[in-house]
Amino acid sequence: MLIPRQARAGYLHPVASEITPRAAYEQRREFLRLLAAGGAGAALAGWAQRDALAQAPRAGKLAALPGARSGVAGASTVEKQTAYADATSYNNFYEFGTGKEDPARNAGKLQTRPWTVAIEGEVKKPQTLGIEDLLKLAPMEERIYRLRCVEGWSMVIPWVGYSLAELIKRVEPTGNAKFIEFVTLADPKQMPFVGSRVLEWPYVEGLRLDEALHPLTLLAFGMYGEVLPNQNGAPVRLVVPWKYGFKSAKSLVKIRFVEQQPKTAWFKAASHEYGFYSNVNPKVDHPRWSQATERRIGEDGIFQKKRPTQMFNGYEAQVGQLYAGLDLAKNF
């Protein structure tokens, strides 16, 4: 199906009204109204039957959060999706431990309600939004993205959320805003490994403003048609599909617009290993891991060949122009 678009700032931007059916948006608003009124339980059964909205089947573990099929270019790979059980039990979330199974084991105490995110710094309209306000800020879309970890493994995950640009345009960045700093929760009462010497806390990540405005950059509230599990960054996280996974900060509490390039958590820990950009690049190896190939989680047979890593994780057509003229070996 040909989807009409409008050209702006060098990208192809879909028109929101053309990518999200009005009925889907209004039904989701009704769900949120019921949620606020405490009547969501009766509504969930009805929502569970509306599988026409979402492409991925629900796991049936958490509250439903469906999203309409996205019209953003590159937003829905047709590759086989990673099993929900794998995507929720093989995680890097060092606030809950450094083992892959630790986040699922230790994230149960994380309280995601109430939850607020402060938007501050170089913006004309700084504000603090509750999670319910963020959920209602724009229509939910399902985006099926490849996720590539710098450690050499990958997944395919159906996320639910909307472009971060939807939030950015509402707070009106000033002319001084060149970068955005993302700050995550660091509460040792809920996160047993906050305070460990692995990283400086809180976890901080960053993007250039133009990277943050790209329509593929997602503010995610769910996955597999449901709200995010705690171990995957509940209640709201970033997903930047052309960058290594650690750039997609989880459990956000602050989004700060700044003039200077942020000093991110991994850059502070080992700047020679974790560059600010961290775009997926098969030609630039990490000192400890080759980036030429990757292991898709769920394809772990002894004879299973690794997959060749794709430049920008396969999103080069959509984001390559962001880095025109930039030496990606120096700016890794």
Here the tokens at position 107 are 């994230």
- Cβ neighbours of 83 (radius 10 Å): 14
Count of H helices and E strands in the chain?
A: 10, 15
What's the burial of 21, exposed, middle or buried (CB within 10 Å: 0-12/13-18/19+)? middle
HSE value, Cβ hemisphere, 13 Å, CA-based, for 141:
26
pLDDT tens track of the chain, all 332 residues? 333 333 333 333 333 333 344 444 444 554 455 444 444 433 343 443 444 456 788 999 999 999 999 999 999 999 999 999 999 999 999 999 999 999 999 999 999 999 999 999 999 999 999 999 999 999 999 999 999 999 999 999 999 999 999 999 999 999 999 999 999 999 999 999 999 999 999 999 999 999 999 999 999 999 999 999 999 999 999 999 999 999 999 999 999 999 999 999 999 999 999 999 999 999 999 999 999 999 999 987 767 889 999 999 999 999 999 999 999 999 99
Q: Answer yes or no: are the C-beta atoms of 242 and 313 closer than 8 Å.
A: yes
Distance separating alpha carbons of residues 140 and 314, to the nearest angstrom: 23
Task: Write out pLDDT tens, residues 52-95.
Answer: 456 788 999 999 999 999 999 999 999 999 999 999 999 999 99
pTM for the model stands at 0.84
Q: Could you tell me if residue 103 is left (phi over 0), alpha (psi between -120 and 50 degrees) or otherwise beta?
A: alpha
